[in-house]
């Protein structure tokens, strides 16, 4: 008889196939296969992503179970990302999860990908996993106390989420209540990084390349437009246009028509443009977060999603905490981009709350948190 709660979690919303095992709230394994096939296209190709998930899912799940030291018969439930994301990709993870749950006669737990990103802050890796994972080895993992604000910044989303106690009918749920206070009205921050990187001739995904080059550049070299949007909402489309126009004007000035010729004419061009772009994105993100934290008198702020891997943003969070005496929570690198550990954390909370997913449920491409 199973005496503990052991959950296998599966994430397949975009171009990472990931599986994780969590036992009684402790993460035992987290395995991710990233898809390189999209690099040559400068963005994720949905059809290729689904095919790669199909190839990866069995070995990834197998490895996650082996690393956790458990067999399928030890599982209490299967958690999976139901959406939002690419439908073809989600279908692979969802179908696999359903088939496995059905064959093992155990429940399914569906997880919202965005809630997963926020709940990455509650992942508690085992001592063995921490020691074996370089990005976690010497990192003190702190979990935020409720309520807190989470800046959720990824390739598809930029949101400020209020995370607070979830009391229903007098009982406190394990899964916190999450309310979107503001979000992008057009592009996401990660998308702005990726699109601007593309015009600079940098590989996909561009965010990490912008981050790397920004460290060598002058953030004041090229002033870029900042949006003027009410409330806590974001906008990044104007910044993208401003970046493009800056390049266009520089090309006209130097009588060239491609980025490589321009880079040959202007020393440190890419580095300075990356630094200017990165500092502007961070300014935009932090300004609204600061406003929300002040207006709501919230003492703790966290960052989540792929863009939270950005070194400038991570430093901006540390500075923000020191300057405004806020507690800041920055996840280890392994839990920033898409991963099943965060789905496992969310799935575990939902399991404890008794929230299971019927087999007839289908994935969804778009949703709010
Ligand atoms: O959360 P994620 O893995 O996937 C989505 O759910 O969207 O986020 C991917 C995004 C991409 O836009 C990528 O360029 C960005 O995260 N990203 C970064 C960095 N690492 C990944 N952006 C800026 N700096 C980074 N170091």
**Nearest CA among 293, 294, 185, 278 for reference residue 229:** 185
The pLDDT assigned to 140 comes to 82
Per-residue confidence band for 369, with pLDDT thresholds at 50, 70 and 90:
low
- Report residue 368's pLDDT band, with 50, 70 and 90 as the boundaries: low
Is 208 near ligand 1, meaning CB less than 6 Å away? yes
What residue has token string 């905490």? 321
Closest of 191, 106, 129, 161 to residue 293, by C-alpha: 161
List, for residues 104-126, the tens digit of each pLDDT value: 999 999 999 999 999 999 999 99
Burial 256-282 (b: 16+ CB within 10 A, else e): beebeebbeebeebbbbbbbbbbbbbb
Task: Extract the runs of DSSP E, i.e. beta strands, from the chain.
Answer: 6-11, 16-23, 26-34, 77-83, 108-112, 124-125, 148-153, 158-164, 167-168, 171-172, 177-183, 300-304, 327-329
Q: Percent of the chain, pLDDT > 70?
A: 99
- CB of 81 closer than 6 angstroms to any ligand 1 atom: no
Ligand 1 atom with minimal separation from the 113 CA: 6
| 269 vs 259: CA distance, rounded Å | 9
Asked if residue 18 has its Cβ within 6 Å of ligand 1, the reply is no
Residue pair 341/16 in contact (Cβ under 8 Å)? The answer is no
| pTM: predicted TM-score of the whole model, two decimal places | 0.95
In 3D space, the residue among 338, 337, 334, 340 whose CA is nearest the CA of residue 96 turns out to be 340
Give pLDDT tens digits for 297-349.
Answer: 999 999 999 999 999 999 999 999 999 999 999 999 989 999 999 999 999 99
CB-ligand 1 contact for 309 (6 Å cutoff)? yes
pLDDT exceeds 80 at position 3? no
What is the β-pairing status of strands 6-11 and 77-83? parallel
Torsion angles phi and psi, residue 245, rounded to 5? -65, -35
Burial status of residue 26 (CB atoms within 10 A of its CB: 0-12, 13-18, 19 or more) = middle
Backbone φ, ψ for residue 34 (5° rounding): -90, 145
Please tell me which residue, 137 or 159, carries the higher pLDDT value.
Answer: 159
Which of 17, 38, 158, 190, when mutated, tests ligand 1's pocket best, judged by the most ligand atoms within 8 Å of its CB?
190
Q: Give the residue, 42 or 157, on which the prediction is more confident.
A: 157
| CA of residue 255 relative to chain centroid, distance | 40
| Residue 331 CB less than 6 A away from ligand 1 | no
The torsion region of residue 319 among left (phi > 0), alpha (psi -120 to 50) and beta comes to alpha
Q: Do residues 22 and 347 make contact, with C-beta atoms less than 8 angstroms apart?
A: yes
């Amino acid at each position: 008889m199973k005496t503990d709660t052991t959950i296998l979690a599966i994430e397949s919303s975009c171009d990472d196939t990931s599986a994780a095992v969590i036992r009684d709230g402790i993460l035992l394994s987290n395995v991710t296969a990233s898809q390189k096939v999209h690099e040559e296209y400068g963005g994720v190709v949905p059809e290729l992503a689904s095919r790669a998930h199909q190839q990866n899912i069995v070995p990834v799940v197998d490895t996650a179970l082996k690393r956790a030291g458990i067999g399928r018969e030890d599982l209490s439930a299967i958690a999976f990302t139901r959406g939002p994301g690419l439908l073809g990709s989600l279908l692979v993870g969802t179908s696999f999860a359903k088939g496995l749950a059905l064959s093992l006669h155990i429940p399914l737990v569906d997880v919202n990908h965005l809630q997963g990103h926020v709940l990455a802050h509650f992942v508690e890796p085992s001592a063995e996993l921490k020691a074996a994972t370089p990005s976690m080895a010497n990192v003190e993992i702190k979990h935020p106390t409720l309520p807190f604000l989470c800046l959720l910044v990824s390739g598809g989303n930029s949101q400020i989420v209020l995370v607070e106690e979830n009391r229903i009918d007098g009982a406190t749920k394990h899964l916190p209540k999450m309310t979107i206070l503001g979000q992008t009205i057009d592009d996401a921050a990660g998308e702005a990084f990726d699109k601007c990187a593309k015009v600079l001739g940098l590989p996909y995904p561009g965010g990490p390349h912008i981050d790397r080059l920004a460290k060598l550049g002058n953030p004041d070299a090229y002033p870029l437009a900042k949006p003027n949007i009410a409330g806590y909402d974001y906008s990044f489309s104007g910044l993208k246009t401003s970046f493009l126009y800056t390049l266009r004007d520089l090309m006209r000035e130097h009588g060239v028509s491609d980025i490589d010729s321009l880079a040959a004419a202007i020393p440190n061009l890419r580095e300075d443009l990356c630094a200017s772009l990165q500092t502007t994105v961070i300014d935009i993100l932090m300004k609204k977060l600061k406003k929300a934290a002040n207006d709501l008198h919230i003492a703790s702020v966290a960052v989540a999603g792929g863009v939270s891997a950005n070194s400038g943003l991570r430093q901006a969070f540390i500075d923000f905490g020191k300057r405004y005496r806020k507690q800041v929570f920055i996840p280890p690198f392994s839990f920033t981009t898409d991963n099943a550990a965060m789905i496992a954390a969310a799935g575990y909370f939902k399991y404890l709350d008794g929230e299971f997913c019927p087999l007839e449920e289908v994935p969804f491409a778009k949703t709010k948190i």
